[in-house]
Chain A
């Protein structure tokens, strides 16, 4: 079969492109986005770039499709009760200020000719560090639970940990959807920090915000995913607009990818129902470690290998998610 029959001309980017590739990229990143609550810029941008898009067009087109896709995923997560709107709106405040500061830091480093390596090494430390911590958290959870149970049996139930000092700085806000109570300043600081990292690393920041919501604020995993996607709607909208204004959005490619992503997102979001908190964390940890490996290859100038690693990881992870979901559906039907 001649696949060139699916080639179309993309006038704004000025190149011929295969529709099936666009649908496949959209589909795989849709699954990852719906499942992990991330935009997926770290997968789509290098993929489009490898297949022939100029980097600026790859970023702009990616942001446009992320905006549309995050609306689809957020709606579905909202229906499942996974979106904490109150926290999502607060996250925008802290994140935007953080992005501004992070971007200024990058400009400062650029003026001294140090931005490239500093950003790439920070990326590697962050991805490998976070991935390693999440793996540690996953593999020691039973051990920790057993210790806590043994302590409870010996000394009686442990009182809930008391928050002290700056963590209780008023005003304290209760988030009924997440079931957590936190200081406004803690929330703003956490999102400022994730925003700063996102501005500093030049990414959407979903892969930083999702674990931050879990580990720093205490949200349940599914709510962290839904709330993160809610924030991505706003950052994606602004990213789409600003890149289109600079003439760097190939709207036809973005629309085709969105169609693939919409189908993928349905699968990704539905999979959250069948794979529970710690299972999602394990898959996420593996994915970001592979993304870290991809950045390492790029730093070592193995650009093609870097692209293949990130695309391979994305497709492999999609397959794992679909298989686990099918397994979950079968179990549910059997019971």
Chain B
């Protein structure tokens, strides 16, 4: 069992090591051309969060990608927690179900 767990950990680690290769192969050459990465967002007339994200997009795509991924995860988890609380308050608590076909 311990060996199996170690296998899972190593396997998942390796996947994330090789993930960029997979993405490059699956996304094709078109997305790697310089024009695609050089796209800039015009900042005139923007304010607040729009300006903040657009600036980040224009200045550092790596940071933009990390922020996007983390933000989606955080918002996803927050929504899951909030809806759990609301549903519980409404008496619609989620519970284990019986599996039948």
Contacts and interface: CB of A to CB of B under 8 A. Distances in A.
A158 to B, nearest CB: 18
Interface string A88-121: 0110110010011011101100100000000000
Interface string A268-310: 0110110011100000000000000000000000000000000
**Residue from the set A92, A102, A241, A263 with the largest chain B CB neighbour count within 10 Å:** A241
B69 A244 contact: yes
A104 B72 contact: no
Given A72-B79, A244-B65, A202 B95 contact: no
B73 A80 contact: no
B-side interface size class:
35 or more
B26 to A, nearest CB: 4
Nearest to A8: B50
A283 to B, nearest CB: 14
A282 to B, nearest CB: 12
B91 interface: no
Contacts of A278: 101
Contacts of A222: 97, 99
Interface of A: 9, 11-12, 14, 56, 64-65, 67-72, 75-76, 79-82, 89-90, 92-93, 96, 99-100, 102-104, 106-107, 110, 171, 173, 199, 202, 220-223, 237-238, 240-242, 244-249, 251-252, 254-255, 258-259, 262-263, 266, 269-270, 272-273, 276-278
27 contacts: A9-B50, A11-B53, A56-B31, A67-B73, A71-B73, A76-B94, A79-B94, A93-B11, A96-B15, A100-B18, A100-B25, A102-B26, A106-B26, A107-B28, A220-B99, A240-B69, A242-B20, A242-B23, A244-B64, A245-B64, A246-B27, A255-B75, A263-B83, A266-B87, A276-B101, A277-B100, A278-B101
